[in-house]
Amino acid sequence: MHKSLFSFLATAVKFESDASAGVERNGDIMLTDCLKEFKQTELLDEDNKWYCNKCKDHVQATKTLEIFRVPRILVISLKRFKTSRSKYGYGGMGLSGQKLDTQVTFPLEGLDMTPFVLSETQKKNTSLIYDCYAVSNHFGSAGFGHYTAYAMNPFTKSWYNFDDS
């Protein structure tokens, strides 16, 4: 680790919260529920028709997203704004979407990605268990806001809150 990065991490303010102790709050959803929802087949709306080269027409189609392989370091980004008319959206287009404020509970250790990966080779030959080392948060709306972060010092295993406000 670069000395200046370590110095920065070593002088940060330690973060203590219910989340760091593994306590779940009522009304929260689990990260694994988000991953299951990600894999659900979605019927594309009228504005997103697919061109069928067999019947030579635009038709309403379905879309399914899958994870074939995961990298050694996994970064998960959760969509926090509703901006479309899909079942996940509210009807507006563009960046003026409504922000989702539902808390997502996630494990700090032991996230098992095995159920969400298609590659049988990767499942057999690689551990798909992940530990959390950092979290980036956005406060505000789609047009403006403020970012903070929590990061774990890899040497002391202590969590720190980074906030420049």
pLDDT digits (tens, 9 = 90+) for 127-159: 999 999 999 988 887 778 888 999 999 899 999
Enclosing H/E stretch for 130: strand 129-130
Q: Rounded to the nearest 5 degrees, what angle is found at the Cα of 98, between the Cα atoms of 92 and 104?
A: 135
For residue 143, what is the domain's CATH number? 3.90.70.10
Q: Is 155 part of any domain?
A: yes
Q: What size, in residues, is the chain?
A: 165
What pTM was computed for the model?
Answer: 0.68
Q: Is 91 part of any domain?
A: yes
Q: Is 26 part of any domain?
A: yes
Q: Which domain holds residue 21?
A: 3-40+69-162
Q: What are phi and psi of 148, to 5 degrees?
A: -130, 170
Residues 60 and 99: beta-carbon distance below 8 Å: no
Q: Is 60 part of any domain?
A: no
Q: Is 158 part of any domain?
A: yes
Q: Is 61 part of any domain?
A: no
Domain count, the chain: 1
Provide the 3-class DSSP secondary structure of residue 51.
strand
pLDDT digits (tens, 9 = 90+) for 39-82: 999 898 888 898 999 999 999 999 999 999 999 999 998 877 76
Predicted pLDDT at 102 = 80
Mean of pLDDT over the chain: 79
Predicted pLDDT at 44 = 86
Q: Is 122 part of any domain?
A: yes
Predicted pLDDT at 153 = 94
Q: Is 118 part of any domain?
A: yes
Q: Which residues pair with 37 in a beta bridge?
A: none
Predicted pLDDT at 84 = 57
